[in-house]
Structure 1
Amino acid sequence: MSNQAALRSDYVYFEEITTRWMDNDVYGHVNNVVYYSYFDTITNNFLIKKGGLDIQDSEVIGYIVKSECNYVAGISYPDKIFGAFRVNRIGNSSVEYGLAIFKEEQVNACAYGSMTHVFVNRHTEQPTKISGQLLEALQSVLIES
């Protein structure tokens, strides 16, 4: 996505995220570390709802191995925001997500970035091939490069 801000039209899946009073820092805006929590929330909501991931009992779990966030414009409680989600790349056992945070009705993202999951066997922690419902869900939000 280079150095330009992300646009709402760059993403496929959206969910409202509730900002909380505790998300604000002493400067009156959402602290930078909270954006990663928002990214994690939208990713896991998608994986559970669409990918069929059972976080308690699934044989396959995902580990984040890389993440980044670019901050463009501040948000603060009680802003109404939306998390945006897509898949940038799918490998054998890994997937790179594209994520962004938008204020309601805004076209340009307040923040955008990526996270990479490697899916592993819960017991052996060895990489495992992405397949089945999870693969189908990820492919449904894969963007064309």
Structure 2
Amino acid sequence: MALDTLKTRRRHDYRFQLEYRTRWSDNDMYHHLNNSIYYFLFDSVVNTYLIQHCSLHPPTSSQIGLVVHSHCDYLAPIEFPAVVDLALRVNKLGKSSVTYEIGVFERGHEEVKAVGEFVHVFVDRESRKPEKRGMSDELKQGLGRLLVDKAKL
């Protein structure tokens, strides 16, 4: 995705949002959110959505999502204390995989501060291989509600 395109992202470009209140310990020695915190946030918004809207129950689900790719484009810093809105959408939905995009917005600011990509492949818990049928119907339907029109990518 072109960086110029990502810089234009706004909250309305995403279909699910989750609030996070930063903690003092989230800051690094340069007094902004540490890079690792962004990945913690990506994991949190994705898994919150999967649990709340896709009938995923991680301790007992027969299918689990393995992260096979992730990256982040940092556009502007965030520092404690701040409230951030994590905004989630699905850019690609395959038979066993999903590509999420996460926008990180600071409350009170319209410009996106970071945009991340996170790819899950859903596999059988035991074999760690994708099932022939692909992901469960509940997962596919729930994730489908976040799928954006390819023309808007």
TM-score (norm: length of structure 2): 0.91
Give the superposition deviation at 1:131. 2.5
Are the counterparts in 1 of residues 85 and 104 from structure 2 also a CA contact under 8 Å? yes
CA RMSD of aligned residues (A): 1.0
Deviations 1:39-71, CA, capped at 9 Å, x for gaps: 110000000000111110000000000001000
For 1:134 and 1:107, locate their aligned partners in 2 and report how far apart those are by CA, in whole Å: 31
Give the superposition deviation at 1:105. 3.4
Identity %: 38
| Letter of the structure 1 residue corresponding to residue 95 of structure 2 | N
Give the superposition deviation at 1:81. 0.5
1:68 is aligned to 71
1:8 is aligned to 11
Are the counterparts in 2 of residues 39 and 100 from structure 1 also a CA contact under 8 Å? no
Give the superposition deviation at 1:106. 2.4
1:90 is aligned to 93
Which stretch has the larger CA shift, 62-71 or 97-106?
97-106
| Letter of the structure 2 residue corresponding to residue 3 of structure 1 | L
Picking from 116, 132, 142, the partner of 2:119 is 116
Picking from 47, 57, 60, the partner of 1:57 is 60
Deviations 1:11-66, CA, capped at 9 Å, x for gaps: 11101012111110111110112101101100000000001111100000000000
Instruction: Say yes or no: does 1:141 pair with 2:136.
Output: no
For 1:141 and 1:61, locate their aligned partners in 2 and report how far apart those are by CA, in whole Å: 19
| Letter of the structure 2 residue corresponding to residue 143 of structure 1 | V
TM-score (norm: length of structure 1): 0.96
For 1:52 and 1:21, locate their aligned partners in 2 and report how far apart those are by CA, in whole Å: 33
| Residues matched between the structures, number | 145
Q: Which runs of 4+ in 1 moved over 6 A?
A: none
Give the superposition deviation at 1:133. 1.5
| Letter of the structure 1 residue corresponding to residue 3 of structure 2 | N
1:38 is aligned to 41
2:108 is aligned to 105
| Letter of the structure 1 residue corresponding to residue 138 of structure 2 | Q
